[in-house]
Structure 1
């Protein structure tokens, strides 16, 4: 089993910020290969350029893959799931969004093939916050849930930037 973690908009969210490395280490300690994808120009270059960078990394996405995205990283997961032909094990969308939220995001597409995205993961966990300062809030979470189903969890945890993210560790407990 492997896990791929996509951070949010750079330069504010890099591989060493927030909870990304802690979760990756927890997964690795339990025998799951985990990588935090370093995208230093995320939301500063086009989505096409970002996807080219990701393709050059030769990441393996298969039926044993857990995809974890935070903020703009969730948009990367949507783009990847639209372009694969295999069903990932599970997807975690933390502070995800699919509608404009008042910020400039090059990763956000005007529309998505929700049926294809939904069919390319066995399970979706959507985690949003009522008090998200970047408008990746419960409304965005509900939109994602309406498109993808799965499990919707709504909290009062801001933008989920705490280094130790106990909620995510609890959800990933099923794999560790």
Structure 2
């Protein structure tokens, strides 16, 4: 089994400031090969350029893959799921959104093929926050839940940028 984490649009996202590497280390320690995709231009370049870079990484995304995305990284997951031929094991969307939230995002598409996206994952988990400062809030989470089903978890954790995400880690334990 493997997991791929797609970070948000912060240019220093993979430096260890956020939770990505902690979650990757936890999963790796339990035998789940985990990669934090390094996309320093995420949300600063056209989506097609970001997807081209991901394709160049030669990632194998299949039925043994868990996809984890944070903020703008969730939009990358939607774009990937629209083109898969085999459903992934699970998708975790942290501070996800699919509607404009008052900010400019190059990862956000005008529309998504929700039926294809839904059929390309066995499970969806959405974490959104009532007090998200970037409007990736409970309303965005409800929109995702309405499209995808799964499990919607609403918290008061801002934009989920803390280094430790015990709830996410505990939910991922079902795979090891």
TM-score (normalised: structure 2):
0.98
SS where residue 157 of structure 2 aligns?
coil
Preserved CA contact (<8 Å) 2:14 2:36: no
Preserved CA contact (<8 Å) 1:14 1:38: yes
For 1:25 and 1:12, locate their aligned partners in 2 and report how far apart those are by CA, in whole Å: 18
Preserved CA contact (<8 Å) 1:62 1:86: yes
Look up the match of 1:108.
Answer: 108
Look up the match of 2:13.
Answer: 13
C-alpha RMSD of the superposition: 0.8
The number of residues matched between the two structures is: 176
Look up the match of 1:171.
Answer: 171
Unmatched 5+ residue regions in structure 2?
none
> Quick check: 1:160 aligned with 2:129?
no
Q: Once superposed, which parts of structure 1, at least 4 consecutive aligned residues long, lie more than 2 Å away? A: 12-17
Shift of 1:47: 0.1
Shift of 1:14: 3.2
For 1:105 and 1:14, locate their aligned partners in 2 and report how far apart those are by CA, in whole Å: 19
Shift of 1:99: 0.2
> Quick check: 1:93 aligned with 2:99?
no
